[in-house]
């Protein structure tokens, strides 16, 4: 048998089917768990042990530490969690990725699970056509599971065995003759494989197949596993390149943690390998150094023991790790630390359901930006110093540009997220967020027009009377109260927003009633000659603009509550 181009494509196709099955299974589990998975992230605190557990759970579900760490970089970049929290989750993610080896060792090699793939697909396929989301998600999960092990089975048969093709693997065999140098070579191979495949789980599957087929021995497979721990950090670092200072620190913390683990393991490598060999023999199993069929179990034990030990070594030094990365990547000031929207760049495995959580947070921060912009307007009214007034005007103008840019970024993100396989509930939430984003952008436009009006007023030397200023203060107070209710509704979620919607209606009525009352007074006062027509014009425009902001706030509250939206 000659290993030509067609055979290479067959091998690559088998690996691709494995990866595709992993992707389908991951998305199915995300949709099946849905809000529960998002609740896990929302409940994440600075408790390092809880962080480790969370990282373990997430990576076990998505079956890729590369994907989960890229997700962490995105979350830290978007301000969803702190750097201290993320380090604990990274440690858990490294432990979570070890479940792949156990899954394949128990099912992929000992049982002919690929023979059950077609019956599982037979069960899964009809579930895809049910209208109930949970059943559809269960069908996707089962389908992904079946495809994953079908791909693994094809991977085993596509890899030419050593006995039939000895000349093909002579070069690989020669790499095992350099002692500790061979360990370093295979560590490099593991690093490159993980970078190329963008999934540590896929690298592990390929390594187990190579060991099971006798290409390489137990110790060289263990070296590839160590390389996988380095390779998986590259993906996160690439994702952090376009992120802010927090994202870069998270990626660096992941790199330092994994590299430290690899260094101490290389020092104790032979001792560790021999201990695992003795442990397996004590359990009545054959030695993985002699029996190739035992290598998958040996690597599963090695991978798990290594990551758990490394976590136990460093879990007490999380704050110290944070201090180190902050020293290496210092802050460059407020501009650098301003959180930006960061799209998930997790390669093949993208976390569709988790994008809903990030979108919610980004949308809330976008609303907060609009409230801050609105509060520049009363400052401009009372500002008498021309230079300070011009600075405030420039800030409003800058914020207007930011709201336009951020609207495009978030809307693009929401559209991309909505194209992914999402549950009905998640899709509906994304639709509502698009409505919210549109209303926030309107608020930004109104605030910019108000600032422009105040600039013209100053140029025309029109002045507000104390009575007008008091009236404007009251209107700004009512709108800010509506803003505060809106922010609380966004923070606490749909159920709270629905029970609190009456409060939103009451504030909207107050704003409208006050506008009508003020407008009548304006006409009366102008007729009486109490103040100039020009100041009355600007006063009336500002009051009407505030009412428009109130309308947008009510629309946002209704979108959050899921009422009166088309």
Task: Tell me the CATH number at 486.
Answer: 1.20.58.220
Same domain for 398 and 431, yes or no, is yes
Same domain for 408 and 325, yes or no, is no
27 located within any domain: yes
Closest Cα to residue 26, out of 62, 67, 78? 62
Same domain for 225 and 330, yes or no, is yes
Q: Count of alpha carbons within 13 Å of 215, Cβ hemisphere only?
A: 23
Which of 301, 336, 371 marks a domain boundary?
336
Same domain for 309 and 444, yes or no, is no
345 located within any domain: no
User: By residue range, what is the domain housing residue 510?
Assistant: 354-561
Same domain for 277 and 373, yes or no, is no
Which of 336, 367, 390 marks a domain boundary?
336
> What residues have CB less than 8 Å from 143, skipping those under 6 apart?
24, 25, 28, 120, 121, 124, 125, 128
Same domain for 303 and 426, yes or no, is no
Token digits of residue 465:
């009377």
4 located within any domain: no
Same domain for 437 and 541, yes or no, is yes
Same domain for 323 and 374, yes or no, is no
343 located within any domain: no
Token digits of residue 522:
């304006």
429 located within any domain: yes
344 located within any domain: no
Per-residue pLDDT of the chain (566 residues; tens, 9 = 90+): 455 678 778 877 877 887 787 677 767 766 666 555 555 555 554 566 777 777 777 677 655 565 566 566 656 665 556 777 778 888 887 788 777 667 766 665 545 555 677 888 899 889 888 877 778 888 888 888 788 777 766 765 676 554 455 554 555 566 666 777 888 888 888 888 777 766 677 777 778 777 777 777 888 888 988 998 888 787 667 656 656 677 788 888 888 988 998 999 999 888 988 898 898 888 888 888 888 778 888 888 888 888 899 888 888 888 888 889 888 988 654 444 444 444 334 443 345 556 676 677 778 888 888 999 999 999 999 888 889 999 999 888 888 888 888 778 777 777 776 666 666 777 788 888 888 988 999 999 999 999 999 999 888 888 888 888 888 999 999 999 999 999 999 888 888 988 989 999 999 999 999 988 887 776 666 666 555 677 778 888 899 999 999 999 999 999 988 876 55
CA–CA distance, 50 with 48 (Å, rounded to integer): 5
> What residues have CB less than 8 Å from 344, skipping those under 6 apart?
70, 71, 74, 350, 351, 354, 355, 358
DSSP state at residue 160 = P
pTM over 0.75: no
Same domain for 332 and 385, yes or no, is no
Same domain for 462 and 313, yes or no, is no
Same domain for 361 and 274, yes or no, is no
Domain count for the chain, please give it: 2
Which of 309, 336, 363 marks a domain boundary?
336
Same domain for 131 and 224, yes or no, is yes
221 located within any domain: yes
CA–CA distance, 416 with 421 (Å, rounded to integer): 11
347 located within any domain: no
């Amino acid at each position: 048998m000659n290993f030509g181009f067609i055979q290479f494509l067959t091998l690559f196709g088998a690996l691709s089917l494995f990866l595709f099955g992993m992707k389908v299974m991951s998305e199915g589990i995300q949709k099946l768990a849905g809000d529960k998975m998002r609740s896990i992230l929302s409940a994440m605190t600075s408790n390092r042990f809880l962080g480790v557990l969370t990282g373990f759970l997430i990576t076990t579900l998505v079956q890729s530490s590369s994907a989960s760490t890229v997700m962490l970089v995105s979350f830290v970049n978007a301000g969803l969690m702190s750097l201290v929290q993320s380090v604990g989750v990274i440690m858990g993610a490294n432990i979570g990725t070890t479940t792949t080896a156990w899954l394949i060792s128990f099912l992929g090699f000992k049982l002919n699970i690929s023979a059950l793939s077609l019956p599982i697909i037979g069960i899964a396929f009809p579930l895809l056509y049910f209208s109930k989301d949970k059943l559809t998600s269960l069908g996707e999960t089962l389908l992904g599971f079946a495809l994953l092990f079908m791909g693994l089975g094809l991977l085993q048969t596509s890899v030419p065995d050593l006995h039939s093709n000895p000349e093909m693997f002579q070069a690989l065999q020669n790499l095992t003759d350099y002692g500790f140098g061979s360990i370093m070579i295979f560590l490099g191979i593991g690093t490159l494989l993980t970078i190329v495949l963008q999934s540590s789980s896929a690298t592990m599957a390929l390594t187990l197949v190579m060991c099971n087929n006798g290409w390489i021995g137990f110790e060289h497979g263990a070296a590839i596993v160590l390389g996988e721990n380095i390779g998986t950090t590259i993906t996160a670092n690439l994702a952090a390149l376009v992120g802010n200072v927090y994202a870069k620190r998270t990626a660096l913390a992941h790199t330092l943690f994994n590299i430290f683990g690899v260094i101490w393991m290389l020092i104790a490598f032979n001792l560790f390998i021999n201990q695992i060999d003795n442990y397996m023999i004590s359990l009545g199993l054959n030695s993985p150094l002699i029996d190739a069929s035992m290598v998958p179990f040996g690597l599963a034990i090695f991978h798990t023991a290594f990551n758990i030990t490394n976590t136990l070594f460093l879990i007490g030094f999380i704050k110290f790790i944070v201090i180190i990365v902050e020293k290496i990547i210092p802050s460059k000031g407020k501009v650098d630390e301003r959180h930006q929207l960061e799209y998930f760049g997790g390669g093949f495995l993208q976390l569709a359901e988790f994008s809903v959580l990030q979108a919610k947070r980004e949308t809330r921060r976008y609303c907060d930006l609009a409230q801050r912009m609105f509060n520049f307007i009363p400052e401009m009214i009372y500002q008498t110093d021309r230079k300070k007034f011009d600075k405030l005007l420039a800030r409003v103008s800058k914020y207007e540009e930011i709201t336009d840019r951020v609207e495009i970024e978030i809307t693009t993100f929401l559209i991309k997220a909505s194209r992914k396989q999402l549950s009905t509930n998640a899709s509906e939430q994304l639709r509502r967020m698009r409505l919210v984003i549109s209303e926030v952008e309107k608020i930004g436009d109104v605030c910019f027009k108000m600032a422009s009006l105040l600039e013209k007023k100053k140029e025309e030397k029109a002045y507000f009377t104390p009575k007008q200023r008091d009236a404007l203060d009251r209107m700004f107070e009512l709108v800010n109260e509506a803003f505060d209710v809106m922010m609380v509704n966004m923070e606490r979620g749909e159920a709270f927003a629905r029970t609190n919607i009456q409060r939103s209606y009451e504030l909207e009525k107050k704003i409208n009633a006050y506008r009508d009352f003020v407008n009548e007074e304006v006409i009366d006062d102008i007729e009486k000659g109490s103040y100039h027509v020009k100041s009355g014009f600007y006063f009336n425009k500002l009051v009407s603009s505030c009412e428009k902001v109130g309308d947008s706030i009510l629309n946002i509250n209704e979108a959050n509550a899921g009422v009166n939206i088309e």
